[in-house]
Amino acid sequence: MRIFTLMLVFALSPQASGQIPADVTLEAVDGVAGLNVPLGIKNAADGSGRLFIIEQGGTIRVIDGDGTLLATPFVNLGNLVTSGNERGLLDVAFHPQFASNGLFYLHYSAGSNRPAGTASGDTIVAEFSLSGDPNVGNSTPERVILTVAQDFANHNGGQMRFGPDGYLYLGLGDGGSGNDPCNRAQTLDPATLVDPSSCNSSASLDDSLALLGKMLRIDVDNTTPAGANNLCAANGDGSAEYSIPVENPFSGQANRCGEVLLSGLRNPWRWSFDRQTADLWIGDVGQNTWEEIDLLNWPLAGSENLGWKVCEASWLRDSTSTPCNLSGSVLPVLEYRRNKGNCSVTGGYRYRGPVTSLGGRYVYGDFCSGNIWFARDQDGNWQSELFQSIGNIRSFGEDEQGNLYVLSGSTLLRFEGNVTDLIFADGFEATN
C-alpha cells in the first residue's frame, strides 16, 4: 500500500494591512512568444525546473529549466482531439512518480480518432509516456483511463491533477448549454438520469452522464476487473482502467457513482490544491449573475454539494437577494457579480512562492474583464482587493518553487516582488 507524505512549504503570513503589496508586479516572461491558444500551465515536479504550456489545439509546449521555449512540442495529439469553443486539450497531470516512470495523463475532447463507443467531443482521460527524449512524450496513449459522454460542446470543466493522497482528481462541468437543462450536476443516481429533448439523446443515457457537474477521484495505479460494481464510466463488462479509492464517499454504494467526490458544480474550469495545507480551491464559472470560489479544507470529507443548479454562489439561481436554501450545500468563500465586464472566473492559487508580501494570499481572476484579485483571510472571512486588469485570463500555474504565473491571451506572465530566502519543497511527494 502506498503512503503519501505532504511536504510542507513554509511562507510568511500576509501583510496586516489591507493594501495591495507595493513591491508586487506582473512581468511578461522573456523569450516566450508564439503560443497558440494556451490554456494551462503545469510543472512536472521532477526537479527539472520545466514548465509545460497546454495549447487548446492538442499540443503541449516545453519551457526548459533555462527559460527557453523549445521548438518541438512535448506532445501533439493531432486527430485524437477536437478543438474549438470550450473543447480541446484541456489539461495535463504528471504522475507523482513521473521522474522515474515517465507517465502523464491528458484530459481532452475526443476527435475523429477516438475510442469505440464514444462521440466527437466526449471527455477522454488517457495515460501517456515519455519517448526516449525527456522533452518529448509519445502522442499515442498507453491506455484510455476513462471516457465520459457529453451533452453539449461547452462546460467540459478542465483541470486535472494528482492530490496529496496520490489519486487523480478531475473536475467536470455540467454538460453544457445553459442552466443545466439535463440536471446533471444534481443527479447522483444514474438510474434517474433524464433526457429531455434539449439534451444529447445520442448519449443514450450512458451512466457516465451522471459524472457531469462533479469532481471525480480515481486511482490510476490499479484497475477494476470485470463484474458488478458502481463505476459509472466502466466498460460494458464492468472492468475499468482505474479503481475507486475506498475513501470515496460513494465507494461500493448502490445507486451512486463510485468515482464522485463532490457534486453541484457548473463548470470548474480551474482549481488547485494549496501546496502547504492541501486545501482544495475551486473556481466555478457562473450562469448569469454570480461567479464563485469554493474552499474545501483538507482532509476532504467528500460528498459535499456545491449547490448548482439550485443555487449560484450563495444565492438562489439568478437571484441577487434570496439566499441559497439548498440543505447541506457548501457556500463559497468568495463571490462576485457578473457585471462591469466580469463574466467568467478563472480559479487560481493560494500563493506559497518566494515573494514575501504575497504569502498566503489567494490569487484569482476573471477571463472577460482581465481583473486579477488578491484575497486574504481576515479571521475566517476572505476579502478581495483588485490588483490590476491585464486582458483575457485563461489560467494560473505554479513552477516547482511556487512562483505563480498567469496566461493572459497568448502571453505568459509571472508575479515578481521582494524575495525572502526560504527553503521550498515542491507540492506533494509520493513515497513507496
pLDDT in tens, 343-381: 999 999 999 999 999 999 999 999 999 999 999 999 989
CA distance 106 to 256: 26
- Confidence at residue 194, expressed as pLDDT on a 0 to 100 scale: 84
Asked if the model's pLDDT at residue 421 lies above 70, the reply is no
Asked if the model's pLDDT at residue 8 lies above 60, the reply is no
> Where in the sequence is the domain holding 163, given as residue range(s)?
3-431
- Confidence at residue 19, expressed as pLDDT on a 0 to 100 scale: 80
For the chain, percent of residues with pLDDT exceeding 90: 89
Residue with cell 471516457: 147
Q: Return all residues near 364 (Cβ < 8 A) that are at least 6 apart.
A: 283, 293, 334, 345, 346, 347, 348, 372, 373, 375, 396
- Confidence at residue 348, expressed as pLDDT on a 0 to 100 scale: 98
pLDDT in tens, 14-24: 333 458 999 99
- Confidence at residue 197, expressed as pLDDT on a 0 to 100 scale: 67
Confidence band, pLDDT 50/70/90 cuts, at residue 413? very high
CA distance 281 to 382: 13
Confidence band, pLDDT 50/70/90 cuts, at residue 195? confident
CA distance 118 to 109: 10
Confidence band, pLDDT 50/70/90 cuts, at residue 205? confident
pTM confidence score: 0.93
Q: Return all residues near 329 (Cβ < 8 A) that are at least 6 apart.
A: 264, 305, 306, 307, 310, 311
| Cell numbers linked to 403 | 512562483
Strands 345-350 and 334-337 come out as unpaired
- Confidence at residue 199, expressed as pLDDT on a 0 to 100 scale: 80
Higher pLDDT, 159 or 420: 159
pLDDT in tens, 135-192: 999 999 999 999 999 999 999 999 999 999 999 999 999 999 999 999 999 999 999 9
Using alpha carbons, select from 323, 313, 320 the residue that is nearest to residue 345: 313
Asked if the model's pLDDT at residue 341 lies above 70, the reply is yes
Confidence band, pLDDT 50/70/90 cuts, at residue 5? very low
- Confidence at residue 203, expressed as pLDDT on a 0 to 100 scale: 53
For 218-249, give one letter per residue: b (16+ CB within 10 A) or e.
Answer: bbbbeebeeeebbbbbbeeeeebbbbbbeebb
pLDDT in tens, 232-275: 999 999 999 999 999 999 999 999 999 999 999 999 999 999 99
For the chain, percent of residues with pLDDT exceeding 70: 91
CA distance 309 to 328: 14
Distance between alpha carbon 203 and the CA centroid of its chain, in Å?
24
Confidence band, pLDDT 50/70/90 cuts, at residue 65? very high
pLDDT in tens, 224-236: 999 999 999 999 9
Asked if the model's pLDDT at residue 201 lies above 60, the reply is no
Q: Which of 63-72, 122-131, 423-432 is predicted least confidently? A: 423-432
- Confidence at residue 429, expressed as pLDDT on a 0 to 100 scale: 40
Residue with cell 500576509: 14
Give the total number of structural domains in the chain. Answer: 1
Higher pLDDT, 410 or 426: 410
What's 11's domain CATH number? 2.120.10.30
- Confidence at residue 425, expressed as pLDDT on a 0 to 100 scale: 42
- Confidence at residue 14, expressed as pLDDT on a 0 to 100 scale: 31
pLDDT in tens, 21-53: 999 999 999 999 999 999 999 999 999 999 999
Asked if the model's pLDDT at residue 127 lies above 70, the reply is yes
CA distance 261 to 364: 24
Q: Are 29 and 414 in contact (CB under 8 A)?
A: yes
- Confidence at residue 200, expressed as pLDDT on a 0 to 100 scale: 66
Confidence band, pLDDT 50/70/90 cuts, at residue 279? very high
Using alpha carbons, select from 145, 177, 108 the residue that is nearest to residue 259: 145
Helices (H), 195-345: none
Mean pLDDT score, 377-386: 94
Asked if the model's pLDDT at residue 12 lies above 80, the reply is no
